[in-house]
Amino acid sequence: MTNRERILTILDGGMPDRIPWIPRLQIWYDAHRRAGTLPAKYQGLRLREVERRVFGGTAARDGIIYRSQLEGVEVRSHQVDALETVTEYVTSVGTVTTRQRGSAQLRAEGIQDAQTEFMLKERKDYAVVEYLVQHTRYAPAYEEYADYEREIGDDGYPMVNCGDCPFHYWMRALTGYNDAYYHLHDFPHEVERLVATLTDVYRDTIWRYLVESPARLLMHGHHLSSQMTPPTLFARYIEPYYRELTALTRPAGKVIALHGDNDTRQILPHIERAGFGMVECFVTSPMVNTTLAEARKCWGDRVIVWGGVPSVILEEPYTQEQFEQHMDEVFQTVAPGHAFILGIADNAMPGSKIERIEQITQMVAKRGQLPM
């Protein structure tokens, strides 16, 4: 079977010929290409070519099914210094600003800047952000997706990033984790109104694209965690949204995936109840408290896991013995192999030992035949 066939078989609830091994190498590749430190055998190769040589496929995460743009909004950006950018969003009801800051080291490695200032700071900012939400126009991009899927071919199957759910988008991108709980206490009416507005807009636009597009694997949700979206908040603000959405997407053959690169131990049952069909980039111990065994015990084969290799075990100070012990536990835990795609959570970082990633390819060839 090809990687494409393996992924589609898993999406359909079946068992492929072997465990698919599809890691993300983007950050590792970008950092070493920029620094001129790619291993000699990978020098001069594009990422896609390196992926083929390392594991025989591609992660295929660049497809889109819709585009969006602001109307009636003036966007002004200016550099504070070489590492900091301020952006203003000017509307007829007011202005909000954001700030991004990077570091020389992270930029040299191709890692994106961090957001350090968020749109929502005071009560008055909510009216401006609501205006932005209501003046965002969406349009389908199905032909672009079809072109991308053809480009990927048998090397994999596209996972399409479709943004975050309204409540967590408010928390993560509009308010920032540091201030979100203060806003819930100080501005509860404004928070509820904005989340409801976002939900209405998504229901009328994005949901239609999720259901009607040719894509089947749709990442819609990022970084939900035991700490910032604990069970009480998850049940109140997140579960209802996904239950309503997945009641539409499941009959259409779509799988909604959560980008799960966070500690999810306390919300494992909520993730399934919300309707997620997959947790991709699923990060586990020793990076967080959550273990792969706990997830499999909670979800069985009802939620597809894409992960199993926490990126830290690919680096020092983890020894070769510890790395091999972890991989042995992964193969034992996922047997007989239903609903599992082996991947790195979240990404092979600049310090990852490519030899260990190559070794996993050999392990899968030797131990990954299904059923295990």
The model's pLDDT over 86-107, given as tens digits with 9 standing for 90+, comes to 999 999 999 999 999 999 888 8
pLDDT mean over 133-159: 98
pLDDT value at position 108? Answer: 85
pLDDT value at position 107? Answer: 86
Q: Are 118 and 86 in contact (CB under 8 A)?
A: no
pLDDT value at position 330? Answer: 98
Q: What pTM was estimated for this model as a whole?
A: 0.95
Structure tokens at 107: 């930029």
pLDDT mean over 302-314: 98
Give the pLDDT confidence of 253-280 residue by residue, as tens digits: 999 999 999 999 999 999 999 999 999 9
Q: How far apart are the C-alpha atoms of 133 and 127, rounded to whole Å? A: 10
The answer for 176, left when phi > 0, alpha when psi is -120 to 50, beta otherwise, is left
Strand 66-70, strand 136-140: pairing: antiparallel
Query: Sorting pLDDT into bands at 50, 70 and 90, what band is 111?
Result: confident
pLDDT mean over 297-320: 97
Q: How far is CA 22 from the centre of its chain?
A: 14
Higher pLDDT, 316 or 110: 316
pLDDT value at position 234? Answer: 98
pLDDT value at position 112? Answer: 87
* CB-based contacts of 298, cutoff 8 Å, min separation 6: 268, 269, 272
pLDDT mean over 76-82: 94
Show the beta-strand stretches assigned E in the chain. Answer: 66-70, 74-81, 84-91, 94-101, 114-117, 136-140, 160-161, 217-222, 255-259, 278-282, 304-310, 340-345
* CB-based contacts of 294, cutoff 8 Å, min separation 6: 265, 268
Neighbours of 37 (CB within 10 A): 10
Give the pLDDT confidence of 182-226 residue by residue, as tens digits: 999 999 999 999 999 999 999 999 999 999 999 999 999 999 999
Give the pLDDT confidence of 26-44 residue by residue, as tens digits: 999 999 999 999 999 999 9
